[in-house]
Structure 1
Amino acid sequence: MSPRQHEDDDSPWPRFVLVDLVDLGDTEDFERYGPRGFHPVHLGDVYGDERYRVVHKLGAGGFSTVWLACDGTEHRWVALKIVIAEHSTSVYSKSQLSRHAALQCAGDEEFVVEHPHFTLDGPNGRHLCLVLPVLGPSTSQLSAGFSSRIRPWLSRRASYQATRALAKMHTQGLCHGDVTTANILFGLLDFDRYTESDIYRLFGKPEMTLLETYSGERPGPGAPSYIVKPLDFLSSKESIISKDVRLIDFDQSFPVSSPPERMLGTPVEFLAPEVAVGLKASPRSDVWALGCSIFRLRSGESPFSGYEVTSPADLMKIIIQTLGDMPSSWEDILFDYDGQPTKEPTKGEPLEKWEGKRPIKDLVFKIRDQPENSVVDTGSVRPEHQVWGEDENKPYPQCFSDTVWKPTATEIDNTYLYGYDDETDALLEAMPKISENEAALLYDLLSKIFVYDPQKRLSAREMLSHPWFHMDGLLLKECT
């Protein structure tokens, strides 16, 4: 890769050596450690007038890093979200609306509201710091392709709770604006009872890797000396993960009466088609994103994602493959070179369709589930494969048996799932499928969500009575 100049300063790009992300897990973009970027955090750092001491890392996103910190004043654990300097001002203004939104809806602890907030000045600028309750893993982490899958009953329960939370927001005249599986998190059971030594006993001490530069020089004050691997809640032999989920991150929420003029910052795969073509978002756009989340929760995959889906134009192409042609009133909409909708004829072109069809019914009825005892024997002889990592084919600890299962720990004819290729397709065919009864119910629900006309979509309130949510009877009664 030929270096270019970093957009924020005069240093060559890329500056930092890319470490093994498989070992490090999901983490922040190192190149954003610079002017107006991330604040460099080290374990043991103390923030907020010496109140919050960093003990571990919880995660990172495009605009922030999130840290497990000990509140020395109230003697409890908090999640400290440190926003990049470039977006701290805008996130602060949005956080005021998000706080108001969550407070309006927070009656049953389904929503997360930040506690105090403060700013800190660092080498890369001024950063907003939000203090949040500590939550467990996201549904995105626990339902992710071959890596992990949520148990069917729990996926229905979590979907119901997320739907109920969204319905409450809409009743208050508010849209969430960023409903994704990354923003639906499982709670933790009495987390404040644990000491720092308990945290290390349960999850191990933080794993770190040095941050190295291509030049061989030290990273400098604008970057940390090392990158911390996020805490893995599934690494413990003792489960502290609750069976209840909470809806978080109201940074893109808005009043129903005042939809944003610009396109939502929601990940492309969750955008409703009307938003993708440049029309305004609404509560029914939230519902579309919720439908995408429900499918991901139950199947481990997103219905409108793929390596080739990187822009609204790409999204519309795959949606057309799934739903058929878009409304005639949208056919004149143009997309620019970056795949964004545009009203300027000189900068855009009509959408070019992709060939092939992928009906939502087929996607639902092909959902794979765990075989009994995680073993499938078809009588075929298959070649062994090279294991990716030491723990790749080990199941989760027994304490998570009612929560999640690991597809790569499924033995199929003496081999394992290991990647996306022709051999894996054959292995998947040997896996049991979702029951026809459940598939029919889930398809019925999603077919009433994945429609072009927002007015013809179910509302979140209407979704709550759908029989797919209530297949487990008493399990869902606990949610009401």
Structure 2
Amino acid sequence: MVLQSLMALCQPRSTKSLNPLSPPPTPEPEAPSQPRKWRFDSEANNLFCEWCERYRPGGFHPVDLGDKFCNGTYTVIRKLGSGPYATVWLAVDSSFKRYVSLKIFTAEASVSETEFGIIQFLSQKADIDNRSQYFFTLLDTFILHGPNGTHRCLVFEPMGPSAESLELPDQKPFQSIPSFQKSIAKIIFLHALRGLAFLHENNIVYGDIRSRNLLFSLNDITNVEENELRQDETIPWSFAPVRRRNGKKDKWAPNIIYLGSAFWANSTPTEHYSSVAFRAPELILGKHIGPPIDIWAFGCLMFEFLTGHRLFVVVRGSDSQGDINEMNDNHLLQFNDIIEKLPSTLLNDWPRANKWFHPVTHHPRKGSRLYREGKSPYDSLEVMFAQHKPDDIDEAESAVICSLIRQMLVYAPEERPSAIELLKHPWFLE
């Protein structure tokens, strides 16, 4: 009797008893790391946009074209983009007969009161300080309750493509970083610096300067027909149906997932680690931060825009502390070789400095894997700039630009120039 009972317990359950029409269970808040546990088929999960598996409690709000929000005020007609914490949509504002950019945050990433206060402050300054024109204006905000939780929604004026998404005429195949002509790059730099000067004078640190967050303004699209701006659903690779593997209806996800448009774009919140290569030393070492971190990042951006190459190549592995330590160490070692030797004050703040440098002389340990045969694998800033600079910059101007970038990449934050001081530099005034 006992043996038979145990054998009965070990028999596989019959799937015929399961009701295919029964509703699926509520997904766990944490997305599964193993593909075999994904809810959706590979077609939707492989589209280069927000990850389908994050349509779950705490995650993205499911949006389908034609959806209306805020008591029918905003009607979605096109996907603009997505990031780790939000999706962005082009919508028609029925109250003012205009097009707007609608950003819907994930439920778990509700905008902090500090961030929301900054956005409101910038919008209030729009009619007072002319420099506020370098930031898009908040038009409205509302709270959305959906199957995945409560979401903060922000409504902005529509913006054009980001500097990162532009495809330039002379851009090489598979080149992910655009290389701008000097004249165009200088205009971008001037506008960005004016915006930074405005922020810093109001005690605001931007904290995430990079090409994807620099947007071009649009010509007035008020009179453009809605049909011209609607999502083009005839392009096969631009969308995918969202289907559960078990065939059940999923109320936490949209029916279709879309790529953001290649032309219309808007910035979305992103993890700070996605811009790790622009981090200042004090940011890496967990020290006090302020406006100087924006100046450091701006120096990295200048090099990138003018050469089409990154000044520092930093790759993050997993979230393990070991991988993070290796990433930080590699970044600091690049500072030592590309800019100048790390000072003792910085080495003293670096917990693992003795692994790479002699604790007394502070000379590099030649036996380390990054210094095999006593030679650094990194070239200096000047050598790298000379290798990749555009043809319209000669050697004399290269020296001026490299000197200017070096002023921004000073290890001591208090010694970096302010945005206002940079705007007075002769190179920007030419």
Shorter-chain TM-score range:
0.7 to 0.9
Question: Matches of residues 35-434 of structure 1 in structure 2 within 5 Å?
Answer: 35-88=57-110, 90-101=111-122, 103-104=124-125, 106-108=129-131, 109-142=133-166, 146-147=175-176, 148-199=178-229, 207-213=238-244, 215-218=245-248, 220-233=250-263, 267-307=275-315, 311-333=327-349, 354-355=370-371, 356=376, 357-369=378-390, 434=393
Describe the shift of the 1:31–1:321 C-alpha distance in structure 2 as closer, same or farther (beyond 3 A). farther
More strand by share: 1
SS in structure 2 of the partner of residue 282 of structure 1: coil
Describe the shift of the 1:29–1:204 C-alpha distance in structure 2 as closer, same or farther (beyond 3 A). closer
Describe the shift of the 1:335–1:113 C-alpha distance in structure 2 as closer, same or farther (beyond 3 A). farther
1:147-168 alpha-carbon deviations (Å, 9 max, x no partner): 5443331111111110111012
Q: Is the Cα contact below 8 Å between 2:104 and 2:154 reproduced in 1?
A: yes
Q: Is the Cα contact below 8 Å between 1:367 and 1:433 reproduced in 2?
A: no
- Structure 1's unaligned 5+ residue stretches are 1-5, 235-240, 253-262, 337-351, 370-431, 472-480
In the alignment, structure 1 residue 454 sits paired with structure 2 residue 398: no
AA aligned to 1:40 is P
1:17-55 alpha-carbon deviations (Å, 9 max, x no partner): 455999x55x22333211101111111111111111111
1:193 and 1:81 map into 2 onto residues whose CA distance is 23
Matched residues, percent identical? 29
SS in structure 2 of the partner of residue 146 of structure 1: coil
- Structure 2's unaligned 5+ residue stretches are 1-26, 318-323, 353-367
SS in structure 2 of the partner of residue 233 of structure 1: coil
Larger Rg: 2
2:386 and 2:146 map into 1 onto residues whose CA distance is 52
Aligned counterpart, 2:425: 466
User: Shift of residue 434 of structure 1?
Assistant: 4.4
- The alignment of Structure 1 onto Structure 2 pairs a total of residues equal to 362
AA aligned to 1:461 is I
User: Shift of residue 137 of structure 1?
Assistant: 0.9
1:276 and 1:9 map into 2 onto residues whose CA distance is 28
Aligned-residue CA RMSD (Å): 3.3
Normalising by structure 1, report the TM-score.
0.67
SS in structure 2 of the partner of residue 120 of structure 1: strand
More helix by share: 2
1:86 and 1:353 map into 2 onto residues whose CA distance is 41
Q: Is the Cα contact below 8 Å between 1:140 and 1:297 reproduced in 2?
A: no
User: Shift of residue 368 of structure 1?
Assistant: 4.9
User: Shift of residue 328 of structure 1?
Assistant: 1.4
User: Shift of residue 264 of structure 1?
Assistant: 6.4
